[in-house]
Chain A
Amino acid sequence: MTTVSQGQGGAADTSEGAQELAPREAVAAAELLRESGAVLRMSEASVSELAGQVSEDETMIINMGPQHPSTHGVLRLMLELEGETVLRSKPVIGYLHTGMEKTGEQLTYMQGGTNVTRMDYASPFFNELVFSLATEALLDVEVPPRATWIRMLMCELNRISSHCLFMATNGMDLGAVSMMIYGWRERESLLAFFEKVTGLRMNNNYIRPGGVAADLPDGWREDVLTILEDLPPRLAEYDVLMTGQPIWRDRTQGLGVMTPAEAIALGATGPILRSTGLAWDLRRTMPYLAYDQVEFDIVVGTTGDVFDRYAIRLNEIRESIRIVHQILDLMPKGDYRVQDPKVTPPPRARIDESMEALIHHFKLFTEGFKVPEGEVYVAVESPRGELGCYLVADGSARPYRMHIRGPSFVNLQSLPHMLQGGMVADAIAIISSVDPIMGEVDR
């Protein structure tokens, strides 16, 4: 059993010690480079010069979060300010850490989906998808076409709901409070559909190794069509409310600018990378599922600022609507999961009449299925960027190591770079434009 070390009272109980932003004189040059977002722009020499210019009396280090409403959960930022200008910043994370990678090693592949789906709680299907794809790659199982297309349908709808959530929070962070209500409203209609298909609004555990948990319910096509018809006029409303509106543009344009080279060096993916003008979307550049059979455009920005990242997400909703329309046309008939009793449970009716089905069912849910030894890295394009899963199997029914490469976790590193030199009020806009989901950052 593990013991948590006890704080000795006083500052030690609340302080994170070395994880915090330290005073300038206590920081090494390389670290100072990083905190002032200058890793790619300045040499160590010019930074130490810069460090000498700012006197400690004129700056202050303030703490923002982890309970700040604009930090999307429990992100804590420490900022060094000179007046209202941000000189250095450092994200302090870990407040939501629940050891999910360790938990993943204790669960069977069958149960693993319930664990990973809780990481990025705004886009749970993507987490399940990447885990299932990795497991299937190790098992060398090919899922039936209908399962693939159902997965695509759910993921694209999930992308829409996740981006609607971004529209809501981004609007709220920047003072467009009515936008929050609109964003939640659109998301609600999608969550209602998810509930109808999977039984749950979030943390669905619907995409599982070998296919999906259940076939689409009766009337799903009409439900999806209703959503798809309702959305475009509402997106047009967003354009009136935000995109074309001078206040919104003044507030977001030219903030937190990144270049493609900087984004690549910092490992940023998703809308952040695309906002710099680089057309990198794994659905197109490294296709998985059946994305090579549908038509869609990669939305890219030009300047890499907060406005571009907003506009990219708005237009990605439109592209997803386009994809879903094609999925409705192309949805094949057939099995929704692999008919392999060693991987997927038998249909409920078979259990009553077949001893073998009962045994398979029992074995699957108690022991789980064994996965041959090996290791694999699978990546999908989640609404936030590249979501990867690195699985190491040792031949047993549980992953030997399950690592999730969370896009939010890596994207957060670009914050010091984007915040440097800006105003505190702009920091809110920039954090919002990264769209971090802390469940995935901390895992």
Chain B
Amino acid sequence: MSDLPETRHGVPVTSSNGQVVLHVPIERYQEVVQALFDEGFTMCVDLTAVDFLTHRERSIPGDVVPARFEIVVNLLSIAARQRVRLRVQVFGDDSTVPSLFDLHPGSEAMEREVFDMFGIAFEGHPDLTRILMPEDWEGHPLRKDYDMGRIPVQFKAAPGPR
């Protein structure tokens, strides 16, 4: 869409299938969410992450450096009936992201899920433990380098060593 401003709160804006997407650098993440909150985006509908390990060349604005992980936040403005989506690039395997808990208490379970599934830690989160996997689970299942795991199908005899 051509009527979209190129930047909003100082970060690049793109349109993805008609939806407004803000590409927020991680240093300005909380600040932009706060600015959007003041604008009326008071509901954090969804918070998730994507591991772009095997798909680095994705469509993002030229001046945004693609990282391995992306935090994707969907905010909703009840008054204006609008949505915005934030995409935050997260570098490194063990990087931390500031938590939105203070502003959106409803992001609590979703941040825990992202921590559980991707191993991304949220700074300032009150209870950062695994939520879906058992506490002693090793690895983070939704990472792309986490193998699916399979049970071999036994046709006649148990498979021998190959």
Contacts and interface: CB of A to CB of B under 8 A. Distances in A.
B31 interface: no
B45 A267 contact: yes
Contact of A410 (B42, B55, B110): B110
Contacts of A33: 126
B106 interface: yes
B132 A403 contact: no
B84 to A, nearest CB: 10
Contact of A394 (B58, B110, B147): B58
Nearest to B137: A5
A130 to B, nearest CB: 12
A375 interface: yes
A83 B46 CA distance: 37
B130 A19 contact: yes
Interface stretch (A92-100, A204-212, A248-256): A92-100
Interface centre among A19, A394, A405 (most CB of B within 10 A): A19
A151 B35 CA distance: 38
A405 B99 CA distance: 19
A31 B127 contact: yes
Nearest to B42: A264
Contacts of A266: 105-106
B62 to A, nearest CB: 16
B81 A285 contact: yes
B25 interface: no
Interface stretch (A315-323, A330-338, A384-392): A384-392
Contacts of A201: none
A24 interface: no
B142 A388 contact: no
A138 B17 contact: yes
A106 B144 CA distance: 11
Nearest to A412: B109
A146 B98 CA distance: 47
Contacts of A97: 132-133
A238 B45 CA distance: 34
Interface in A1-23: 1-5, 7, 12, 16-19
Contacts of A5: 136-138
A292 interface: no
A102 B142 contact: yes
Q: Is the interface of A mostly helix, strand, loop or mixed?
A: mixed
A346 B29 CA distance: 48
A137 interface: yes
State the majority secondary structure of interface residues on B: loop
Given A265-B105, A377-B85, A405-B45, A30 B135 contact: no
A93 B131 contact: yes
A267 B104 contact: yes
Given A137-B17, A379-B45, A267 B81 contact: no
B43 interface: yes
A40 B101 CA distance: 11
Contacts of B126: 28, 30-31, 33-34
A282 B130 CA distance: 31
B101 A30 contact: yes
A419 B55 CA distance: 44
B136 A405 contact: no
Interface string A407-443: 0011011000000000000000000000000000011
A2 B141 CA distance: 10
Contact of A34 (B78, B83, B108, B147): B108
Nearest to A264: B43
A140 B117 CA distance: 30
Contacts of B160: none
B19 interface: yes
Contacts of B127: 28, 31, 34
Contacts of B134: 16, 94
Interface in A106-129: 106
A399 B24 CA distance: 24
Interface in B104-153: 104-110, 113, 117, 126-127, 129-139, 141-142, 146-150
Contacts of A388: 45-46, 74
A49 to B, nearest CB: 18
B48 A102 contact: no
A93 B135 contact: no
B133 A94 contact: yes
B26 interface: no
Given A264-B78, A266-B105, 14 more contacts: A3-B138, A19-B129, A19-B130, A19-B131, A28-B127, A39-B105, A94-B130, A97-B132, A101-B117, A102-B142, A280-B78, A374-B16, A377-B74, A443-B132
24 contacts: A1-B150, A3-B138, A12-B136, A30-B101, A31-B127, A94-B133, A97-B133, A106-B148, A140-B17, A264-B78, A266-B105, A267-B43, A267-B44, A267-B104, A280-B78, A373-B58, A374-B16, A377-B19, A379-B45, A388-B74, A390-B72, A392-B50, A405-B45, A412-B109
